[in-house]
Chains A and B, each alone.
Chain A
Amino acid sequence: MNMQVKLPFDEMLVDGVARDIYAAYADWLSNTPPEQLESKRQEAELLFRRVGITFNVYGETAGKERLIPFDVVPRLLAAREWKLLSDGAMQRVRALNMFLHDIYHSQDILRAGLVPNSILAHPQYRPEMIGVNVPGGVYAHIAGIDIVRTGEDQFYVLEDNLRTPSGVSYMLEDRRMMMRLFPELFRKYSVAPVEHYPHMLLNNLRAVAQPGIQEPTVVLMTPGAYNSAYFEHAFIAQQMGVELVEGQDLFVRGNAVYMRTTEGPKRVDVIYRRIDDEFIDPLNFNPDSMLGVPGLMTVYRNGGVTLANAVGTGVADDKSTYIHVPAMIRFYLGEEPILNNVPTYQLSKPDELQYVLDHLAELVVKEVQGSGGYGMLVGPAASRKELDEFRLRILSCPSNYIAQPTLALSTCPTLVEQGLAPRHVDLRPFVLSGKSVSMVPGALCRVAMKEGSLVVNSSQGGGTKDTWVLN
């Protein structure tokens, strides 16, 4: 087995010396006793619990929600680094939106032979969307681009989340918490603000109402209070000042969607839905869904309401489509990709399958449609038995999997039980598309709290950090 003992890139220290961007913070950190950080951490936990910044675990009793671990040590990015990341993320989202329009209209990219025709058989490809014109040609109004780092200038996009990406509330609440815990640091550094995200989001959502509507009514649609991301839904709705609706609050009449209010029906123009395609309309998709609105899809296709994100974006953020994003950028924008993809093996190709099976212990294997860190194999961390089991799963349906080299994700100092220690991190900035494509200078930084772990998902015990873009 190939056991490389190479230390991962650390965001703060290179060869024991603080990188420029961290110099002042590292100095502050070394003068701050760990007990003080620990007491700040406890204070944060208390506040998060009181404010109810929690997530639900399916199957647990009512009234018992969990906290996502919050780390008081921020991740710092230089303005120069942020420019690279944000330019790269926005470039991807532009191309992906054009790809989605194309794939549901003239399908030029298929004819150019850059994406295989088999994509039309993909379960997330929605024939219902063929020929439907969405306002502004925007499909992914809100996109979360997962980025990892392996070296000073080595950033890779791990995944594009174009369906109902979550986590932005943690970006906002982590910042609010950090400002409360460490006001002196904010006075000392010029940290780029992120608080205007809800305002930007609302403007974007208003901009994608059907043409001719003067004062569009925007709502946020949630599966309900028992959804794991319910806090975020309520938080964003409140920050935008829009109604938080469930399927049962909406109904269709004629070519319009209405909500049931104490003053009678009120027309709804834009629905920011945090509910998957399959559940939005029992007449069109899953007939057992209690979460959706019967007839919504018909109104949507006829232009009576805007959905954000659009239906059918899943075909573009799937791991088997991911490999084509650089080609999309060249094809639609005529630009070179600013951010790289992680080299990816497609197990549907026999030679790549053979390579992966031969090198399973070095690779990360993911289900094409998996998310949340479920259904993946981290080769170097897996036991003999796990490797053998996964090998059989792969062989039963190779096209269901992709594989990537195990990246040495960068680490960031993190407060754990034993004090400060390096832990692996990733970054999810959010890209908004409406009239134009924009971002706030910040992101959700996820951190694997367990030593050596590369899995940052909150469903797998990952935590969050505030991300500071410093001018």
Chain B
Amino acid sequence: MLSRTADHLYWMARYIERAENMARVLDVTDNMSLVPNAAASEAALWGPALEIAGAVTTYEDLHDTITANEVIHFLALDPRNPSSIYSALLSARENARAVRAAISSETWENINSLWLEFAQFQDMRLLEGHLHEFCDWVKSRSHLFRGVSFGTMLHDDAFRFLRLGTFIERADNTARLLDVKYHLLLPNDEEIGGAVDYYEWSAVLRSVSAFQAYQKVFSDSIEPWRVAELLVLRQDMPRSLHACLGEITAILDQLPGRRNSECLRVAGELHARLRYGRMEEIFQGGLHEFLEDFVVGNNNLGLEIQRSFLNAQAA
């Protein structure tokens, strides 16, 4: 297939996934604001959301203070923020438009109608009251995108590049979310296990749709190290790092070989760390360091995919 087409498919899926993850972060942060004493201030509550989005500097360029309303608008609707849901969905749709001949018409129509529906939220200044509804909408459109593409597209290389985009982006997002939250939620000088902690951790779990999974796997109180285990090492947890890398290596195995060897090597290395890693060892080396390493490694994998397949020069 055309390299440019593969590139658009890959980014289309990445942007949809990015929008979904942003919606998850917004939703969960907003929920936390309902828990008494959850955070000392609006800034303490909403600052981390900006951190997860990697958008602190952009935000500071535009705003003097961190307020719930401004952060919500900035992360959801602001065209000036390249990682806002607005920007992600616009980019997804522009990428889809560029390859509408290469995706199933159902997939295209789904993304196109998503964009048309988005207009109704764009003009609303009422996110305060409707944030939950909005986030649910973004999430369900993202689910629909995956379902429609899975169910209507030929499972060929085009589909594989699309899926690669989904899982590279998802792995990145889960790692960032866990890093920021873990860092915040484990102050050394405080006792772990209070009520706020419980809400905080259940919120983290809910943000990656893992609350029920946690109960099912551990059927026990929420312990931070178990949350980390679930989101890092559990292979059967759909948003865990291990699950994402499992998908990625399986997809890379099916792609044409000649240009693929470096991608396979980088992905295999990352995958092995998750497949054979043990939580105790990860904690010994520091979870933060581990996640930071992972984000860099995952990013390199993305660049390698880009180099090998998507920016193919006249070779």
- Chain B residues numbered 1-15 whose CB sits less than 8 Å from any CB in chain A: 1-6
Are A52 and B2 neighbours in the complex by a CB distance under 8 Å? no
Is there a chain B Cβ closer than 8 Å to A118's Cβ?
no
Cβ-defined partner of A261 (8 Å) among B116, B312, B313? B312
Q: Nearest B residue to A56 by beta-carbon distance?
A: B97
- Candidate in B2, B109, B312, B313 with the most chain A CB atoms within 10 angstroms: B2
Cβ-defined partner of A264 (8 Å) among B4, B157, B258? B258
Report the minimum CB–CB distance from B20 to chain A (whole Å): 19
Q: How far is the CA of A264 from the CA of B4 in the complex (A)?
A: 12
A63-B93, A237-B101 known; A260-B313 Cβ under 8 A = yes
- Chain B residues numbered 247-284 whose CB sits less than 8 Å from any CB in chain A: 255-256, 258-259
Q: Contacts of A260 on B, CB cut-off 8 Å?
A: 2-4, 312-314
Is there a chain B Cβ closer than 8 Å to A153's Cβ?
no
Is there a chain B Cβ closer than 8 Å to A426's Cβ?
no
**Count class of interface residues, chain B:** 20 to 34
Are A262 and B314 neighbours in the complex by a CB distance under 8 Å? no
Are A50 and B116 neighbours in the complex by a CB distance under 8 Å? yes
Is there a chain B Cβ closer than 8 Å to A300's Cβ?
no
**Count class of interface residues, chain A:** 20 to 34
Q: Nearest B residue to A239 by beta-carbon distance?
A: B101
Q: How far is the CA of A234 from the CA of B99 in the complex (A)?
A: 8
Q: Which stretch of A98-106, A159-167, A247-255, A442-450 is in the interface?
A: A247-255
- Candidate in A230, A244, A259 with the most chain B CB atoms within 10 angstroms: A244
Are A225 and B258 neighbours in the complex by a CB distance under 8 Å? no
Q: Quick one: CB contact mask for B154-184 with A, threshold 8 Å, 1 for yes?
A: 0001000100000000000000000000000
Q: Contacts of A246 on B, CB cut-off 8 Å?
A: 4
A62-B94, A245-B2 known; A234-B100 Cβ under 8 A = yes
Is there a chain A Cβ closer than 8 Å to B81's Cβ?
no
Are A52 and B1 neighbours in the complex by a CB distance under 8 Å? no
Q: Nearest A residue to B5 by beta-carbon distance?
A: A243
A52-B97, A225-B98, A238-B100 known; A265-B115 Cβ under 8 A = no
Is there a chain B Cβ closer than 8 Å to A27's Cβ?
no
Q: Nearest A residue to B312 by beta-carbon distance?
A: A260
Q: Contacts of A49 on B, CB cut-off 8 Å?
A: 116
Q: Nearest B residue to A242 by beta-carbon distance?
A: B101
Are B314 and A253 neighbours in the complex by a CB distance under 8 Å? yes
Q: Contacts of A237 on B, CB cut-off 8 Å?
A: 101
Is there a chain A Cβ closer than 8 Å to B201's Cβ?
no
Are A265 and B101 neighbours in the complex by a CB distance under 8 Å? no
Q: Contacts of B105 on A, CB cut-off 8 Å?
A: 51, 238
- Candidate in A224, A260, A265 with the most chain B CB atoms within 10 angstroms: A260
- Chain A residues numbered 319-345 whose CB sits less than 8 Å from any CB in chain B: none
Q: How far is the CA of A55 from the CA of B101 in the complex (A)?
A: 16
Is there a chain A Cβ closer than 8 Å to B39's Cβ?
no
Q: How far is the CA of A294 from the CA of B116 in the complex (A)?
A: 39
Is there a chain B Cβ closer than 8 Å to A215's Cβ?
no
Q: Quick one: CB contact mask for B104-126 with A, threshold 8 Å, 1 for yes?
A: 01001100110110000000000
- Give B contacts to A, CB under 8 Å: 1-6, 90, 93-94, 97-102, 105, 108-109, 112-113, 115-116, 157, 161, 255-256, 258-259, 309-310, 312-315
- Give A contacts to B, CB under 8 Å: 49-52, 62-63, 224-225, 230, 233-235, 237-238, 243-246, 248-249, 251, 253, 258-265
24 contacts between A and B (CB under 8 A): A50-B112, A50-B116, A51-B105, A52-B97, A52-B108, A63-B93, A225-B94, A225-B97, A234-B101, A235-B101, A243-B1, A243-B2, A244-B99, A244-B101, A245-B2, A249-B4, A260-B4, A261-B1, A262-B255, A262-B310, A263-B1, A263-B258, A263-B259, A264-B259
